[in-house]
Structure 1
C-alpha cells in the first residue's frame, strides 16, 4: 500500500482552504465541487518532473508552495491597479478588470452593453445559485492538479454570453492585475459562451501594479464556441519578473466554428499555459500560435492539446521562442486524431532561437493518429542567429544589438502576423519591442 505523507506545505494550504471557504462564492453543489476539487489536488500535490506532461516544468522545484489567497482589494490596491491598467491601455476595447482575483466594476467598462451581449461577475452568478451555469463554469479536470486547485479556490472571474447571430465589433479585454500588496495567490475563472453565427475578439492581459512582487496568478478560462461562430483570442503575459502564472484554457468548437488564438509571454519568473482544444463539430478550424520572449532565469511553458474528435476539421500550430541568458522555454504540442476523425488536416511547427550558450529550449511536438485518411505533420528546430546575416547588417553600420533585434522581429513575425486584428497586431508588436528594448 502506498502511503502519502502530507507535508507542512500541504497542511498549510489545507488550512488556508478551510479559512478561505467562507470567502469563496457559491453554496450547495458548488461548495461540494470545490471540496472535491481540493481533495483531488491534495491527492496529487504540485506536479513534478516524473509526470510526463510536467517533466520540463517541475513546480515542486520551481514554485515549491502555493501562497495564501490574496485579500479583497482595498482602495489603495485599486488605485495601483488603475495606474497599471492605464499604462497598458488598449484603445477601442471593452475592458473587464480583475484585481487580486476580484472583479473591479469601477475600473471596468461594464455599462451600455451591446444587444446580445451579457457580462456578469462570476461571484454574482455563483451567489445567485444558477446551478446549470455554475456547473459549466466549474467543470474541472481533477486529473490535472493545477486545474483542480483553480476550481477549488477561484474567487471571481467573468461570465460572458453572446446570443445567436451577434457579431461584436468591439473586442472584450479581460485584464488581470496584481495590485502590489504582500505576496499572495490569485485564483480566477471565467466562462465565455458564443452562440450560433456569432463573432468576437477576446484579449487577456496579465499585469503587475507598482511594487507587486513574488505573487501567483492561477487562472482558468472555459470557452464554448457555437456552430458557425468565430473567436479571435489574444493573450499577453507581462507579469513582474518574480511572479508565477499558472493558467489553463479549455475550448470546445461546434460545427464550422473557427478559433484563432495567439499568445505572447514576456513577463513572469515561471509561467505555464495549458490549452486544450476539442473539435467537436465537423468542419471546425483551429489556429493556435504563440511566442515566448524570455531572458534572465525565466521559465515559460506552453502546452497545447488539440483533439480532433470528428471528421473534416483542420488545425495549424505555429510557435516561436526567443531565449536569452539562462532562461528556459518549453513547448509541448500534442495533436490527437480520433478513429472517426477522417479527413483531418493538422500541422504543427515550433522553432526556438537561442541567444546564449546557457539558454535552453525543449520542444516536444506529438501526433497520435487513429484514423487512416488524414493529412498530418509536425516539426521542430532549435538554433542561433545567423552569423552571416549579422555580419552583413553590421557591415552596413548597424550596431550589434539593433541588428539582432531586426532578426528577432523577423523570426517571431510569422506567429504575430496570424493575429486577425490590425490594432491588436500592433499591440503585440509593441509588447515585443518593449522586450527587445529592455534587452538592449
Structure 2
C-alpha cells in the first residue's frame, strides 16, 4: 500500500518561506543545489518530536510549533537598537563581530588592525565567491538532523574566521548575535572557525535581545577545526529574550595533541537546545566541556553532546550543572562513544541538577558506548534540592532566605564556571549568573 502524507499548514508555510527567501540567500550553482537538498531532508521529517530518540525530551512540535518567516534585513533603526544592546556586552580587550537579525553588521564590528595571519570574512561573501573547498566545509554538518538540515537550507550570514599556523591570538574574538526587531521572525546563521597548527584562540558567543525584541527564533550553527598542537577556548552565553527560541548546533574536529576547552551558560530564551558533535581525529587530544542551565518560569533548555573517540590516547571531561526553579525544565544528554581503535581513552562525564521547586524538572541521560578494551571511562548523574541544614546555617548568621539560596546556588555552579581560563570572561559569566539570581522572585 502506498501512503501519501498530506503536508500540514505549518509545512506549507515554511515551504513558501523557503521559496520566497531564495532570492535573499547567498550562493548559486552547487550552493543552491545543496540548499535545496538540505530543505528536502528537513521537509521529510519536519520539526523533531518525542518519537525521535535524540529529541525525546525536547518535542519542538509542542514547544516551538512552527518556524517563523525569515527576518528582514535590519534597517537603520534596527541597527541602532542592536548597537545599544551590544554595548552592554562590551568586554575590554575583545574584538567584536556583530550579527543583527542574522546579518553581519560591519559598522558595529571591529575589523580594523587584524593580526597578521588572522582572516575574517562573512559567510555571505564566502558563499558568493565560489571557494569550493570552503563551501564544501560549510555544508559538512549531517543533514540527517532536521534542525541542522533546516539551518543548511536557510543560512543567511555568519562569520568565517581563519587563523594561520603558529598564530596565538592576543585578544579573544566575540561573536554577538543580536535580535533587534519587535516583529516575530527567524534568523539563520552559520559560522566557521579554522585554527591552523600550533595556533591558539578564545571565542566568545553571546546571544542577546535589544529592547522590544519578543518572540523571535535563532537558528545557529558553528563548524570548528582545530589543528595539531592547537588550543581553542570557547564561552557561550545564551541570554535571549524570555519568549525566544534558540536552536544551536556545533561540529568540532580536533587534530593531534589539540586542546578544546568550552563553557556554556543558558539563562535566557523560552526554549533552547544546544547540540554539539565533537570528533577526535588525532591522537593525544583533550576536550573539557562545562555547562550550566539557570532556568525559571516555564523555560526549557536542552544540552545534547556527542563525544566521538575514534583514535587512541585522547581524554574528555564533561561537567554539567542545572538549576531549575518554578516549572523550569532542564535536559542533558551526553553520549560518549569509544571506537575499537581508540585504546587508552580516558573519558568521564558528570551531570548534577538542583531543583528549587516541586514543579521543576531535570532529565539527565548520560550514555557510554565502548568498543575498546583498554580504556578508563565513567559517568554519573544526580538530582536533588538545596541542603536544608546549610540553608538553616546561613539563615542563622543573618542572611535572608533569598541571599542564602543565592550563595548555595553560586557554589553549586561554581565548578563549571571556574573552567573559564580568562579572568575577564569568567567575570562575564559570573555577572550573567548574578543577573539570573537577582531576577528570581
**TM-score scaled to structure 1, two decimals?**
0.99
2:31 equivalent to 1:26: no
Q: Given that residues 141 and 251 in structure 2 are in contact (C-alpha distance below 8 angstroms), is that contact kept between their aligned partners in structure 1?
A: no
Post-superposition offset of 1:137: 1.0
Instruction: Pick closer, same or farther for the CA change 1:2–1:277 going to 2, 3 Å.
Output: farther
Is 1:154 the counterpart of 2:134 in the alignment?
A: no
Q: Distance in 1 between matches of 2:264 and 2:4?
A: 40
**Secondary structure, counterpart of 1:4 in structure 2:** coil
> Paired residue for 1:377?
378
Tell me which residue corresponds to 1:117. Answer: 118
Partner Cα separation in structure 1 for residue 258 and residue 141 of structure 2: 24
Residue 321 of structure 1 is matched in structure 2 by 322
Tell me if 1:55 matches 2:69. no
Q: SS state of the match for residue 413, structure 2?
A: helix
CA distance in 1, matches of 2:327, 2:93: 38
Displacement of 1:309 after TM fit? 0.5
The corresponding residue for 1:436 is 437
5+ residue gaps, structure 2, are: none
Q: CA deviation at 1:31?
A: 0.4
Deviation at 1:89, TM superposition (A): 1.6
How far apart, CA to CA, are the structure 2 residues paired with 1:140 and 1:409?
A: 36
Match of 2:214 in 1: 213
Shift of 1:181: 3.4
Structure 1: any 5+ residue segments left out of the alignment? none
1:342 matched to 2:343? The reply is: yes
Contact residue 303 and residue 333 of structure 1 kept, 8 A: yes
CA displacement, residues 356-375 of structure 1 (integer Å, 9 cap, x when unaligned)? 00000000000000000000
1:77 and 1:181 in contact (8 A); partners too? no
Aligned position for 1:14: 15
Aligned partner of residue 187 in structure 2, secondary structure: strand
How far, CA to CA, are the matches of 2:5 and 2:406 in structure 1? Answer: 50
TM-score by length of 2: 0.99
Q: Cα distance, 1:88 vs. partner?
A: 2.1
Looking at structure 1, the residues matched to 6 and 198 of structure 2 have their Cα atoms a distance apart, in angstroms, of: 52
Quote how far apart the aligned CAs of 1:5 are: 2.0
**Shift of residue 299, structure 1, vs aligned partner:** 0.2
- 1:126 is matched with 127
The CA deviation at 1:45 is 0.6
Equivalenced residue count is 440
In structure 2, C-alpha distance between the alignment counterparts of 1:2 and 1:263, rounded to whole Å? 44
Is 2:293–2:321's contact at 8 Å kept on the other side of the alignment? Answer: yes
* Structure 2 Cα separation of the partners of residues 331 and 140 of structure 1: 21
- Shift in Å, 1:336: 0.3
Is the CA contact (8 Å cut-off) linking 1:37 and 1:140 kept in structure 2? no
For residues 399-421 of structure 1, give each alpha carbon's deviation from its aligned partner in whole angstroms, at most 9, with x where no partner exists.
Answer: 00000000000000000001111
* Displaced runs of 4 or more, over 4 A: none
Query: Does the 8 A contact of 1:47 with 1:54 survive in 2?
Result: yes
CA shift for structure 1 position 2: 4.3
Equivalent runs, 1:395-434 vs 2, <5 Å: 395-434=396-435
Q: Which residue of 1 aligns with 2:242?
A: 241
CA shift at 1:4, angstroms? 2.5
Supply the distance in 2 between the matched residues of 1:90 and 1:59 (Cα, whole angstroms). Answer: 34
User: What is the match of residue 264 of structure 2?
Assistant: 263
In structure 2, distance between residues paired with 1:180 and 1:302: 27
